[in-house]
Chains A and B, each alone.
Chain A
Amino acid sequence: MWLKDSSIGRKLLMSISGLFLVLFLTFHLSMNVVAIFSEEGYNMICEFLGANWYAVVGTLVLVAGFLLHIAYAFYLTFQNRKARGNDRYAVTARPKGVAWASQNMLVLGIIVVLGLALHAYQFWAKMQLVELQHMAGAEVCTKYAADGVYYMKEYFTNPIFLVLYLVWFGALWFHLTHGFWSAIQTIGWNNLVWLKRWKAISNVYATIICAGFAVVALWFAFVA
């Protein structure tokens, strides 16, 4: 199968899974922003998603997307290190025009995974998981299972967690500034005019996404 047996095919899997994750982030952010304007509205969304079949299916598809993206990230990086060979240069210099993020995508991705683990533990495991356990008949307290605002206030007023989340958004910003246009380039939708445009769009989009998440966290830390 050319998708996994050719270098462009493997890159296409990275690209499509990455764009899917970008789409998910957009959806997630638009949900979070609601919390600034209406805490009840936000909790209504939590309730609406909860452990309904479509939310569970959505979560499973999302996990699959992440797993594909992460598995190929490690696989490609391993192959690329092998292609580079064992002898390293004694002197290296980053040429002009090469973004730092582009050369550190795996490291940035690993930071994103760590943040994701914390986030899943703090929110998913206390909300959707609790509801699933409840439906399965386990004895769990469901008082806050659909109360996302409660958890946001709880975690973001803790300075350590707040800083961890901000670092997480920072890493994501770097990952997206390169990732977004790189994914477009991998699909082949690029030319001399659009190369610059896609790079600009990546920067703007990454900034909207990451600043958006950060503003919501800061709002619950200092304002709400």
Chain B
Amino acid sequence: MDKTINITLKVWRQRGPKEAGKFETYKLNNVSTDSSFLEMLDILNEQLVNEDKEPVVFDNDCREGICGMCSLYINGHPHGPDSEITTCQLHMRRFKDGDTITIEPWRSAGFPVIRDLMVDRTAYDKIIQAGGYISVNAGGAQDANAIPIPKRDADLAMDAASCIGCGACVAACKNGSAMLFVSAKVSQLALLPQGKVEAARRAKAMLAKMDELGFGNCTNTGACEAECPKGVSITNIARLNREFISAKLKD
């Protein structure tokens, strides 16, 4: 049975990085509650194109919660009102008939708006490039069991590695801090023997890049963890602090 709802959308429209933006209001009728949030935006864009208007620009790619592209701030929450899902996994059944839905881009100096709801998240790539790698000997791969790893460490590393680099942590943070992301990327390697070799260098380099790019100082409000679609824990931030402080003390 197909249920439909009528909704009002308030969408942030901004033609370019340097131009002033403003909200536009659109009415959308007969939206199936089975459609996903991004499908709803596709319908909106179809309606806009049919009216000879510019469609709304928004980032998306995989539409299954793994690429981290769908950066929308919906009704005061990055990735919308549900917890531990991305925008593309949000469905219209979460909304009621007659609802007004406000959609904004990530707002942070580190993520400038490119157009409408699309922001420039290359800052995250630069942080990764600064140290988010390990060095391995070329040649035949060694046996996987040659390096024993405690189950607990493996689990924690996998949890940290579930970060998809979406940027919701920065978007949610009142300090515009990228610590949850950086700590996840540092932790997933620091917890494993293969990542230990460059651990000190990595923590220093990635943090220095994060600071250089103008992200804020973490005050442990925990908004990042609450809004993270992958539930990455702020205990990773404690680990990053440990790694960084002990690396500096050893210098």
A interface with B by C-beta (< 8 Å): 2, 5-12, 76, 79-80, 82-85, 87-99, 102-103, 105, 178, 181-182, 185-192, 195
A88 to B176, CA, bound (A): 12
Instruction: Give the interface size bracket for B toward A.
Output: 35 or more
A92 to B234, CA, bound (A): 21
Q: A83–B75 contact, CB under 8 A?
A: no
Q: B217–A7 contact, CB under 8 A?
A: yes
Residues of A close to B214: CB separation below 8 A: 82-83
Residues of B close to A178: CB separation below 8 A: 220
Q: A84–B108 contact, CB under 8 A?
A: yes
Determine chain B's interface SS by DSSP, over half rule.
Answer: mixed
Q: A12–B245 contact, CB under 8 A?
A: yes
Check B94 for interface membership: any CB of A closer than 8 A: no
Q: A95–B108 contact, CB under 8 A?
A: no
Tell which of A8, A85, A88, A182 touches B219, judged by Cβ atoms closer than 8 Å. A182
The answer to whether residues A80 and B177 also contact, given A8-B244, A93-B77 and a CB cut-off of 8 A, is yes
**What are the nearest 6 A-B pairs in CB distance?**
A188-B242, A83-B176, A83-B216, A93-B76, A190-B238, A95-B226
Given contacts A89-B76, A91-B102, A185-B234, 9 further A-B contacts (CB under 8 A): A80-B174, A80-B176, A80-B217, A89-B73, A95-B172, A102-B221, A103-B221, A181-B220, A185-B241
Residues of B close to A94: CB separation below 8 A: 223
A82 to B217, CA, bound (A): 11
Q: A10–B217 contact, CB under 8 A?
A: yes
A134 to B177, CA, bound (A): 51
Residues of B close to A190: CB separation below 8 A: 235, 238
Residues of B close to A87: CB separation below 8 A: 21, 107, 113
Tell which of A11, A85, A192 touches B217, judged by Cβ atoms closer than 8 Å. A11
The answer to whether residues A83 and B108 also contact, given A98-B226, A185-B241 and a CB cut-off of 8 A, is yes
Residues of B close to A89: CB separation below 8 A: 73, 76, 104, 107
Q: B220–A92 contact, CB under 8 A?
A: no
Check B38 for interface membership: any CB of A closer than 8 A: no
Q: Which residue of A82, A84, A88, A103 has the most chain B CB atoms within 10 A of its CB atom?
A: A84
